[in-house]
Structures are given as C-alpha cells and as structure tokens.
Amino acid sequence: MSPRFFTRALWAEPLPLPDHEFERQRVDMVLGYPGADATLLRAAVDAGATGVIVLGAGAGNPGSALVQAIQEAIAQGVLVGLGTRTGGGPVAVIYGGGGAVDAVAAGAVPLGDLPATQARILMALLSSTHPVEEARELLAARLTSAG
C-alpha cells in the first residue's frame, strides 16, 4: 500500500546543485533610498548582471527612478528581486508612488523576509539552471510557499 499524504510538501522539488554556470552568474545589489537615481542599477545591467536585488527603503520601496530601471532591466532579461534595506521585516507590497507596488508591477519579485545576501545565492542558482522567466516563477513560488 502506498503512503497517503494530506498536505503538500513545502518545496515542490529540491534545488539543483550548482554547476559551472553558477560561477558565471553576476547578481548585484543596489541600494534604494529617497532621491536615488538609476545609475547603479543600469551600471549593473551594463556590466552583465544576470540578476539584481534592489534594496528599497522601509518595506521595500525603491523610488520612481529605480522602478523605471527595474522595468528596463527585466525587458533586457535580467532577474530582479526586491528586498528591504531595513534590519528586519519583510518586503510589503503596500505603497505606490515608486513603492513596492510599482516595483512588483514592473516585474520585480518581492523577496519577503529572505535576506538579500541569501537571495543573491538563490537567484544565481536559479539563473544558472533555468531561463529567466522560469527562474522568476521559481523564485516567486519558493518565496510564497516559504511564508
């Protein structure tokens, strides 16, 4: 008789092990703050970043200039995660006007309470083993099921 399960597993499947492509991934972090422009985000993309984590103010609010650059980066095939630069607490998609609502609408994946340094490794792994759209979906699904 086969076992019967009444809840689903936390993770649908295990993550693949890093391979030689993992080492080639560049995932940069850009700090958002009141008045920040998009120069650093665009520089990361121009330098060949396959992923960028934007660390927004408060609950993950990057500002209007960075929201526009997030949309541009995603159009260029870059995986973008949205974190918070605070010492604790998750990204909360609650503010517009350059806030997390706008960044997520532009295509950024909210990282919840996953620390940016750990999200950087996860994004590099997913980018090294999956096309960018699939990596984006897997990142979002893992963060949703973890919370």
Lowest mean pLDDT among 16-20, 54-58, 133-137: 16-20
The band of 88, judged by pLDDT with boundaries at 50, 70 and 90, is confident
**Residue 15 pLDDT more than 90?**
no
Give the Å distances, CA to CA, from 130 to 18, 33, 144.
12, 31, 19
Lowest mean pLDDT among 25-29, 81-85, 143-147: 143-147
How many residues does the structure list for the chain?
147
Residue 80: left (phi > 0), alpha (psi -120 to 50), or beta?
beta
The overall average pLDDT reported for the chain is: 91
State pLDDT tens for residues 21-65. 999 999 999 999 989 999 999 999 999 999 999 999 999 999 999
- For position 127, what pLDDT does the model report? 96
Rg of the chain on CA atoms, in Å: 16
């996953």: which residue's tokens?
114
**Model pTM score:** 0.89
- For position 4, what pLDDT does the model report? 67
Q: Which residues, in sequence order, are CB contacts of 83 under 8 Å at separation 6+?
A: 29, 53, 54, 55, 56, 60, 91, 111, 114, 115, 116, 119
Q: Which residues, in sequence order, are CB contacts of 106 under 8 Å at separation 6+?
A: 67, 68, 70, 71, 74
**Residue 115 pLDDT more than 80?**
yes
Side by side, which strands form the sheet with 79-84? 27-31, 51-56, 79-84, 109-110
